[in-house]
Amino acid sequence: MSADPLAAADQLIARLSATRTEPATNPQHEALALAVAANLPVLLWGEPGIGKSAGMEQLAQGLEVPLETVIASVHEPSDFAGLPVVGENPANTGVTMAPPDWAVRLSGAGRGLVFFDELSSAPPAVQAALLRVVLERQVGSLRLPGEVRVVAAANPPSSAADGWHLSPPLANRFVHLDWTHDPRTVARGMAGTWPQLTIPVVDPARITGALAQARGSVSGFLSARPGLVHHMPADAEARGRAWPSPRTWAMALRLMAVAYSCDASGEALATALVGAIGDGAGLELVSYVDELDLPDPDLVLADPDAFALPGRGDRQLAFLTAVVAAVQGRLTRKRWEAGWAVLAKAVDAGVPDVAAKAATDLAVLREPAWPVPSSMDAFLELLELSGALR
């Protein structure tokens, strides 16, 4: 008889764990990878046992960062807000809120992935304590490094043990993604091949144009649909998911900027946007951006004479906003003057009012030594009234 009767069984189990991976083509996986690249907190909604925890282990391995899994439902509020530690002279030094061990380990590593599981089973007091952890990476008196990514998982309240709806303040801090199983993926995984979460890589050369395009799109959309700037749903279940607010619009802006600066697919971006600002606002934004089809503002600034102003008013507003954002992102005299050449086309097209706000924003970027170009003449009265001229 073998000295260890379980040795062969352990060897078999180890061989079962030795699987290979292939690039994922699932929009859910791509949206998760996009949100992680954008360093936005992600909340995966799914039934128990569909592989959320296993996905986090694979994600951490792919990023080559440590993973800390925290079961939110079994912790007390003090585990996230910190335990008070009284020093020798609290009147002068205050009381330190000691962080838990997982936060100390992540702080020491300088980067990592923290996975808060069973979030919907955590009572409201624990959810409240998690607010600063999720958004500000603040755990007690310890601030986690900015490179620490946050992912959480929750079961629908109907299938969660002692489930609770997420509080609106906590829900509004996440990109919400529905995590479902694909029978074909599971079948292929049982054969030894699982999908790999590939993080999109931002191209530094595309950052300025991507940010400008994202700013123009979001600003133009909210100018046309101001009622969607903040809209909290009426029922408790919907308030515990994604809905539009200034905070989540900032998240949508970041998602778009990262997606435009890398090779993220349009379907992945659409999934992530809906997860940030909700179904209604997200689908409207995606449709709006698809119809805009804005040109690259950096290419237009390089040759403004070859550019034709869009015919639709919403496209004009969105694009001129993007042009000013592109100039601000990489400010030179040549690009600043090219911006005025673009705005002058709005005057030639008979719609100077569309360019009025962009002209004010562009004027304040002027360096004192730069001469005033002739293309500013049509806006001089407006700029003098606004005080934008120096």
- Is 217 inside a domain boundary? yes
273 and 367 in a single domain? The answer is: yes
Distance CA 133, CA 173 (A): 10
Closest CA relative to residue 343, chosen from 371, 382, 288: 382
245 and 374 in a single domain? The answer is: yes
Q: Give residue-wise pLDDT tens across range 257-296.
A: 999 999 889 999 999 999 999 999 999 999 999 888 778 8
216 and 337 in a single domain? The answer is: yes
Would you state the structure tokens that stand for residue 163, as one six-digit string?
Answer: 């489930």
150 and 218 in a single domain? The answer is: no
- Is 266 inside a domain boundary? yes
224 and 352 in a single domain? The answer is: yes
- For the chain, the domain total comes to 2
The three-class DSSP label of residue 73 is helix
248 and 293 in a single domain? The answer is: yes
- Is 189 inside a domain boundary? no
Distance CA 109, CA 163 (A): 33
- Is 199 inside a domain boundary? no
- Is 286 inside a domain boundary? yes
- Is 192 inside a domain boundary? no
147 and 212 in a single domain? The answer is: no
DSSP state of 388: -
Q: How many helices (H) and strands (E) does the chain have?
A: 19, 11
DSSP state of 372: P
Domain with 155, as residue range(s), is 42-87+94-173
Q: Give residue-wise pLDDT tens across range 94-147.
A: 667 788 889 999 999 999 999 999 888 888 889 898 998 998 899 988 999 999
115 and 214 in a single domain? The answer is: no
Q: Which of the listed residues 134, 151, 173 is the one where a domain comes to its end?
A: 173
Distance CA 281, CA 289 (A): 12
Q: How far is CA 41 from CA 27, 126, 135, 221, 276, in A?
A: 18, 17, 7, 24, 10
**CATH at residue 108:** 3.40.50.300
148 and 210 in a single domain? The answer is: no
Q: What mean pLDDT, rounded, does the chain reach?
A: 86
211 and 357 in a single domain? The answer is: yes
- Is 187 inside a domain boundary? no
Between 233 and 385, the more confident residue is: 233
- Is 15 inside a domain boundary? no
364 and 243 in a single domain? The answer is: yes
Q: Give residue-wise pLDDT tens across range 318-332.
A: 888 999 999 999 999
pLDDT of residue 52: 79
Helices (H), 261-373: 266-277, 279-292, 297-302, 313-329, 333-348, 352-363
151 and 244 in a single domain? The answer is: no
Q: Which of the listed residues 173, 194, 226 is the one where a domain comes to its end?
A: 173
Q: DSSP E strands: which ranges in 31-174?
A: 42-45, 67-71, 83-86, 95-98, 112-117, 138-139, 142-143, 148-154
Q: Does the structure show a pLDDT above 60 at 2?
A: no
pLDDT band at 346 (very low <50, low <70, confident <90, very high): confident
